[in-house]
Structure 1
Amino acid sequence: MWTIGFIGLGVMGAPMADNLVKAGFDVVGHTRRPGGTDRLVAAGGRAAGSVAEASRGTDAVITMLPDSPDVTSVVLGADGVLMHADPGTLIIDMSTVRPQTARLIAAAAGDAGLAALDAPVSGGEQGAIEAALSIMVGGALADFERARPVFEALGSTIVHVGPAGSGQIVKAANQLVVAGTIELVAEAIVLLEASGVDPGRGLEVLGGGLAGSTVLARKGTAMLDRRFKPGFRVDLHHKDLGIVLDAARTAKVALPVGELVAQLMEAVRELGNGHLDHGVLLRGVEHLSGLNR
């Protein structure tokens, strides 16, 4: 089995690295957070003290980082992955970044005798834990097929969607739909409660009909209970919606609902909820309705 360098062991990266170990891969992980590799080591992986150490002698290097500047620094920086990975190494960025960042990395990797895929994921923390992520992959088809065993250890829906950057475009569309759906679930809860209808029973019925969705199934109960422990933070979804709107401008298309949802996400962030789960959009609806709790 391959040796995989895994850089970024946060809410998503840590369980993903665990699942690669379970699948039999030799995983060497690196993260900036003190003690952040302890979980991986306990699972049977190895700790790397630097990006260089996580990159040398590997068949693939996976990055799972917060934003485009983090990925470009780690991959393209003076002491980054490209400087230390062996020729032929496959760089798989599973972060959510701008499509142009993915294309930049793919071009730089090719120039350095390496290959790159952009492979962002959807499914949240639970999907990462269950190895049930949806993985949308951009890059050369041959590289995608080479990486398929890695993806199969992490996800249940794995699709090659086109050339470099395409994975990030699909992820932008995903984040658009997720944000819009969470906002509508929040509005439905507020409407049910304000109308004197049991919101739990209301959501149960909605979940069995055309309004049912993975978002409703995974987020509805926690939103009802006002439990906003971060599975996916508002700060990150706010960043992702910026990518969505930038992609729309590049493609010269209008996203009227997307623009509004981006504003609502920004507003709830400005209310001091950036560190909480994006289900906290519910508080924004309550705020607009004069129902602050």
Structure 2
Amino acid sequence: MSTDFQKARAALGARLRELRVSGPCGRLTGTQLAERLGWSHSKIYKLENGRQTATAEDLRAWAEATDQPDAAEELNSRLKGLESHIRSWRRQLASGHRAVQDAITAEHGRTTTLRIWENCLVAGMLQTADYARAVFTRHAELMQSPRDTEEAVRARIRRQEGLYDSGKRHQIMMWEGALRTLICPPSVLAAQLDRLASVVGLDTVELGIVPFAASLKIMPANGFWIYDERLVVVEDWHAELWINDDDSIATYLRTWNTLRQSAVFGADAQRVINMARRAL
């Protein structure tokens, strides 16, 4: 968890504590507030000490329980500030995957050069509908989120129209493991590999593969996307990280360039794709 995020969460906790002890009807103890809310005392403690992230409903209830309902809007604004950087899957997927796809599509729309690194899955910008369907289904199962798979698939495929926009550049790299991961049936992966081979040579797309046999200067860790040089999005199991500070962006650009030194492109990339296809 980022230091900036933790500092902001601690500041939100301090504000919650302030509301508890300075309400118009007098100071409430943590136990008294927990009784009003029907919560455990430990939840009060964790929220006030920045050890747990509140939901919007938690904040509304807190404001009302401390007899300061007008504070709910301010608290919610603080929460949105937190989530602008750490976007938990629990919140993002509350209504399914479609909303997540729409949010990232907006970023694609305002981006001229998009750099993508994937180590275990085919990049979403190059996924077939069947492959995307398998990915969304497995992720929804893991996150126990609502199923809107078909809407999410359509949103992802529509975004791929940007691949053919002459004003945009897509620099996509994947580890060879992404070509062989059976997150889907073998027949679906075979069609997906055919799709990858078809974009090699497209003038708006640079597709690189880091082969298993390549000498690596850095480990092929988790995926990330660099939008121009203003935003990086990183996926983790609990959340997406939206990073926009200059130092962190510079780190991801260096990481990208280091990975690129181990990648192959053009006909060499096609050969790696064909090897994975034959292995099926």
Q: TM-score, normalised by structure 1?
A: 0.26
Q: TM-score, normalised by structure 2?
A: 0.27
Structure with more contact order per residue of length (Cα contacts < 8 Å, sep ≥ 6): 2
Based on CA coordinates, which of the two structures has the bigger radius of gyration? 2
